[in-house]
Structure 1
């Protein structure tokens, strides 16, 4: 709840920093909720094609100056070429995010009605616990869809190995749709207990829904679910 946290931080003189990488500036604007700093892994949706590494830190001159001084001393500087690629990518951010979101919403609807899926996690799906809050803060639901497959890790492994079109990586925000098993990749350094506390079960899957035709995305996922029985 960005509005609640923003007010709480202002009342108590706390710096309010928001990682807005998944939502992007197109879908969510934390500065409207009194965020002091907004950060992005530009490697993801801002690039949008998995080409370059980069990041962005946005905020008041006071706070950005502190970050700038630290980055200059530690060498975490963006190369000129990467900066050029990212600036060009921003020209198509709105167009790409509309397609990512539309595809992700359609995939969430498909998965929610599939017999092999226990739970679907998508902010703008009505089953999402904070659906009303997500609708308030985000103009669309974003390009990431999570789900829990029945049969846990064993069936999940068979499913991932049966995909033909989707890429199997730990990245997100690419033009190509990506399937990830967070428990063994992005969250593998966490203990099983800590994973479960944040909803990362052995059967949890994450999809970074790309720009392909939605029929092709659903078709590949559907046939892989069938083969994983």
Structure 2
């Protein structure tokens, strides 16, 4: 999207809480091609408004963010972008179209990692770009020239995944909600990040713009990095991997995996603490998942 719509001298605003590899892409590659990049706190609408410059082409956000489940009011941010001639791009990977449809809220382009929930079983790698025809014409032209094309078989698997997406996301959300509520009551947990909790500062916003709260529950444990590692290593049913969106539940330590390439000060700015654990909740029986997380708590 950025390479097809931006040129040297253009300015892009990115939310600070985007995926670690997305930050690396902007910092190590897009800047090399003369694209200016600045970062804004995701929920700070006045900050977005103030940061837009005459040459700002795109605003790029994840909502909900990975892994802290931070949100932005997509409709309001779209108004801010459009008032100053910029486009809004939303990474909707965590919600999928089953739970949130940013194009209907005013976003210009939506991107997904189809590898995650759209596939749903960890079989294929791919992505999705969706938007209005005038922007998509440029994106499709770039894709055809650059050549990142799915095989027909992988495309078919993604299409089959879409057939069960709505049903799967309901089950993911139900399991995640139950585990988040349970984790919030445990002594070894310092904080739970999940928009389905009433304690989440943006719970009301999530109710307005999402049909569900998603499958990803992140939480901070007592004991810092060592405590987080002991917790993760004690699990038996849950798979230790940085992947998410699978039918099986996965667990990871963001500061050394998904955000491990960032400098310590960059992780701190993004809110990624060493005590943070991310669980991408799958479709197993929730009692089995709770029992496995209890093993982690016992290891703290």
TM-score of the aligned structures, taking structure 2 as reference length: 0.75
> Structure 2: 5+ residue runs without aligned partners?
1-72
The equivalent of 2:216 in structure 1 is 144
Matched, 1:47 2:119: yes
- Once the two structures are superposed, the pairs formed by residues 44-193 of structure 1 within 5 Å of their partners are 44-193=116-265
Q: 209-218 vs 121-130, which deviates more?
A: 121-130
How many correspondences in the alignment? Answer: 228
Deviation at 1:190, TM superposition (A): 0.8
Equivalent in 259, 271, 277 of residue 199 of structure 1:
271
Specify every segment of 5 or more residues in structure 1 that has no aligned partner in the other structure, as ranges. none
- The yes-or-no answer on 1:214 pairing with 2:286 is yes
Return structure 1 stretches of 4+ with deviation > 3 angstroms.
none
Q: CA RMSD, aligned part only?
A: 0.8
Q: Which residue pairs with 1:5 in the alignment?
A: 77
1:16 is paired with a residue whose SS is strand
TM-fit CA distance, 1:70? 1.1
Instruction: Give the TM-score normalised by structure 1.
Output: 0.98
CA distance in 1, matches of 2:137, 2:150: 16
Tell me the alpha carbon deviations over residues 69-128 of structure 1, each in whole angstroms, 9 at most, x when there is no partner.
111122111111110000011000011000000000001001100000000000111111
SS of the counterpart of 2:245? coil
Deviations 1:33-71 (A, max 9, x none): 111111111000000000001111111111111111111
Is the contact made by 2:192 and 2:220 (CA closer than 8 Å) also made in structure 1?
yes
Please give the secondary structure, in 2, of the residue aligned with 1:148: strand
Task: Please tell me whether the aligned partners of residues 75 and 107 of structure 2 are also in contact (alpha carbons under 8 angstroms).
Answer: no
